[in-house]
């Protein structure tokens, strides 16, 4: 079943990493899984490459294709969607990792999976779902925690993908929204630590948990690098801002196009992180990046013109959550939450997951369009037929 020649090549690749990689890199032979997997140990793929493949072939990854990045309910094919964002993060992070001689397979796996727990309608959807989760006593909803949950407990009908600790940790700790001028890995972790940090983050979202690998730190920085200029380009394309609105000191240090901003940030980060066990922006670049984030928040993310449908979306989240919860309580097996989500799910998941948490997991996995389709089906009136067949006997 296994090709001994290919296994030998893989073993050589693992061994060569000890010479090629930085002393701060995570080697493929250091990968830790919750369960032993003979197919991985005897197969031709290196450990973190397996994780990338498993994430790419997951159903949750497929649903990136129709999930909001920033702007939703806008018909413009050139506006960034979640699927493009994760590809940009992966490319930028691997470029940084190559220059720092880190493990690109690990970087790719974390980058591809980092937003896999995102709700429909981006951070607005995340906020609406979190309020509902708290009101039903199942804790806050955070997309990074949900990403770990999807890949560990929900994918493959509740079996999960048995991903490495290093990848799951990187997904949990990616927090690109938190500004960091400098970041260093917190290396001594295990699966027990992962559970503890999930609890800490759920209890207080402001808690800043740092990745256990330098590769995870790279993805976290690349997350910011990938969206900061791209969101500006999207906002210009939509007429929300003009290029001259970008703060002058940010333009002077970083540039005024996505390309120059990405190039400047990558070059500065690498130059200030070579042969170090941490990642650092220079003071000037770090300050300019922080100010640009504040600009984006005020003039793009909080602009009332792109929030015109937010109240309606919030109501739809509330109605759909309660509808699915009632379907579970009454055992309505014709409901999409049974047919589209629970059908075939492992007994362990069904028996050990609270009903409200099942609803959370179902809604969190939806694309924007599927979510809207469920709302139309359940809450919008439909036309009656133009002609009814005669059946008086049954009604008299």
For tokens 């309606």, name the residue: 312
Provide the pLDDT for residue 154.
96
Domain shared by 297 and 368, yes or no: no
- H/E segment holding residue 303: none
Q: Which residues pair with 221 in a beta bridge?
A: none
Domain shared by 319 and 301, yes or no: no
Check whether 308 has a pLDDT greater than 90: no
- Print the SS3 string covering 151-177: HHHHCCCCCCCCCEHHHHHHHHCCCCC
**Between 383 and 107, where is the model more confident?**
107
Provide the pLDDT for residue 131.
98
Nearest to 278 by CA among 229, 228, 220, 223: 220
Assign 387 a pLDDT band (cuts: 50, 70, 90).
Answer: confident
How far is Cα 366 from Cα 115, in angstroms, rounded to an integer?
13
Assign 392 a pLDDT band (cuts: 50, 70, 90).
Answer: low
pLDDT digits (tens, 9 = 90+) for 152-188: 999 999 999 999 999 999 999 998 667 789 999 999 9
Provide the pLDDT for residue 383.
75
Domain shared by 290 and 344, yes or no: no
Q: Which two tokens stand for residue 111?
A: 């980058």
Domain shared by 368 and 248, yes or no: no
Domain shared by 283 and 317, yes or no: no
Mean pLDDT across the stretch 310-316? 94
Domain shared by 323 and 269, yes or no: no
Domain shared by 360 and 252, yes or no: no
Q: Is 282 helix (H, G, I), strand (E, B) or coil?
A: coil
Q: Please state the domain count of the chain.
A: 2
Alpha helices in the chain (DSSP H): 4-20, 38-42, 47-56, 59-62, 82-99, 104-113, 122-135, 143-149, 165-172, 191-203, 214-237, 248-254, 258-271, 283-296, 310-330, 336-337, 347-352, 355-364, 368-379
Domain shared by 185 and 120, yes or no: yes
Provide the pLDDT for residue 394.
54
Highest mean pLDDT: which of 100-104, 171-175, 370-374? 100-104
Range of the domain at 348: 310-379
| DSSP assignments along 68-137, one per residue | BSS--S---TTS-BHHHHHHHHHHHHHHHHHHTT--HHHHHHHHHHTTTTPPTTHHHHHHHHHHHHHHTT
Provide the pLDDT for residue 96.
98
């Amino acid at each position: 079943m296994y090709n001994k020649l290919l296994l030998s090549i893989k073993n050589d690749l693992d061994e060569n990493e000890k010479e090629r990689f930085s002393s701060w890199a995570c080697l493929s032979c250091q990968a830790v899984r919750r369960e032993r997997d003979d197919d991985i140990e005897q197969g031709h793929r290196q450990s973190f490459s397996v994780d990338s493949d498993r994430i790419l072939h997951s159903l949750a990854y497929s649903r990136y294709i129709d999930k909001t990045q920033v702007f939703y309910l806008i018909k413009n094919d050139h506006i960034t969607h979640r699927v493009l964002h994760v590809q940009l993060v992966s490319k930028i992070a691997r470029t940084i990792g190559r220059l720092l001689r880190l493990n690109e397979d690990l970087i790719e796996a974390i980058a591809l999976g980092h937003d896999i727990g995102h709700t429909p309608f981006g951070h607005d959807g995340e906020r609406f779902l979190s309020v509902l989760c708290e009101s039903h006593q199942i804790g806050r909803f955070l997309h990074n925690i949900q990403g770990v949950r999807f890949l560990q407990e929900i994918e493959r009908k509740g079996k999960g993908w048995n991903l490495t600790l290093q990848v799951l940790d990187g997904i949990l700790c990616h927090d690109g929204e938190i500004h960091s001028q400098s970041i260093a890995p917190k290396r001594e972790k295990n699966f027990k630590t992962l559970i503890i940090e999930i609890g800490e983050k759920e209890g207080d979202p402001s808690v800043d948990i740092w990745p256990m690998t330098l590769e995870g730190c790279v993805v976290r920085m690349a997350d910011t690098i990938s969206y900061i200029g791209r969101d500006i380009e999207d906002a210009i394309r939509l007429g929300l801002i003009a290029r001259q609105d970008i703060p002058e000191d940010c333009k002077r240090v970083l540039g005024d196009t996505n390309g120059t901003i990405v190039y400047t940030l990558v070059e500065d980060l690498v130059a200030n992180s070579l042969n170090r066990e941490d990642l650092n922006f220079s003071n000037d670049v770090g300050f300019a990046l922080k100010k640009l984030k504040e600009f984006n928040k005020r003039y793009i993310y909080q602009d009332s013109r792109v929030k015109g449908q937010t109240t309606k979306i919030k109501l739809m989240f509330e109605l759909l959550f309660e509808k699915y919860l009632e379907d579970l309580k009454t055992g309505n097996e014709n409901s999409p939450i049974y047919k589209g989500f629970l059908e075939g799910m492992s007994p362990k998941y069904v028996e050990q997951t609270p009903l409200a948490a099942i609803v959370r997991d179902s809604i969190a996995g939806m694309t924007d369009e599927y979510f809207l389709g469920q709302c139309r089906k359940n809450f919008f009136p439909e036309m009656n037929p133009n002609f009814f067949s005669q059946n008086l006997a049954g009604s008299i």
